[in-house]
Structure 1
Amino acid sequence: MDAERVVSIERGRQLADQLSLEFFETSAKENINVKAVFEKLVEIICDKMAESLDKDPQQQPKGQRLDATTNQKPPAQQCNC
């Protein structure tokens, strides 16, 4: 990864520290740390959602539940021609 590096590891770490962010060195091209970063992001999101629900237990998560087991076709459109 060093040959095509645009930002030094040290500069990346400094910027992450300044912004209070985590630093990960990744390469999608070489498949390095991609899965680890994705898993860490999911963990952070889940933690934030849990904190939010702990603060206000009445709060309901927003979204819509999808059921992949149903195989419903949309109703056929009828032409009034």
Structure 2
Amino acid sequence: MDEAEQRATPELAAREDSLYRCTTDSLTVYYSDATYTTEVGSDRCYCGRTPLRTGVMTDYAVTEYSEDCLGLAPAAP
């Protein structure tokens, strides 16, 4: 990868992240291990907004709630 590609990659990733809009109203909580006692991160979506992500995403996740947003759900293929 040349120098121009290295500079462009983070900018492209940031732009793609900012374009993502939630199609659900949901909260997912991430835990440190299989005991599900220590929260280490979360992913909060509000209809039509950019997700709010904090901490670390792990394999130990619990979706507290998730509801489709009217008019924002992706179309079926």
Per the TM superposition, whether the score is higher than 0.5 is no
TM-score (norm 2): 0.30
Structure showing greater relative contact order (alpha-carbon pairs closer than 8 Å, 6 or more residues apart): 2
TM-score (norm 1): 0.29
* Higher helix content, 1 or 2: 1
